[in-house]
Amino acid sequence: MNELLSRILHAHGGVDRWLDYQKVEATIVSGSGFFPLKGMIQDASPRRLTVWLHEERSAVCPYGKPDQRTMFTPERIAIEKLDGTLVSERHDLETRSPVIR
């Protein structure tokens, strides 16, 4: 583990504490061109962003309609109803656009 990461983890309770948490959530108000790029009318409504800590996965809710959310993994981006019903999805995201790492 590099020294900076080690110091950050230590300052926040250590690796055991990090492993105790599965995800973090925040209320966000989005700006810029992201939602218009996706064909969504942008507004200043707060949204809930969830990011999983031990896997590459995130969600934004609401998305498009009050009862919908996005669900992102490296292999898939989807719009789902809150009950899990699929609205739309795309697979194989890395083959469709370049990824900057």
User: pLDDT at position 18, please?
Assistant: 87
- DSSP code at position 42: P
Q: Measured between alpha carbons, how far is 52 from 59 in angstroms, rounded to an integer?
A: 9
- DSSP code at position 13: T
Amino acid at 25: E
**Burial category of 43 from C-beta neighbours within 10 Å (exposed 0-12, middle 13-18, buried 19 and up):** exposed
Q: Is-above-0.85 flag for pTM? A: no
Token duo for residue 44: 């200043």
CB 79 within 8 A of CB 69: yes
Mean pLDDT by 10 residues, the chain (101 residues): 87 90 92 74 85 95 93 94 94 60 40
User: pLDDT at position 45, please?
Assistant: 84
User: pLDDT at position 37, please?
Assistant: 79
User: pLDDT at position 4, please?
Assistant: 92
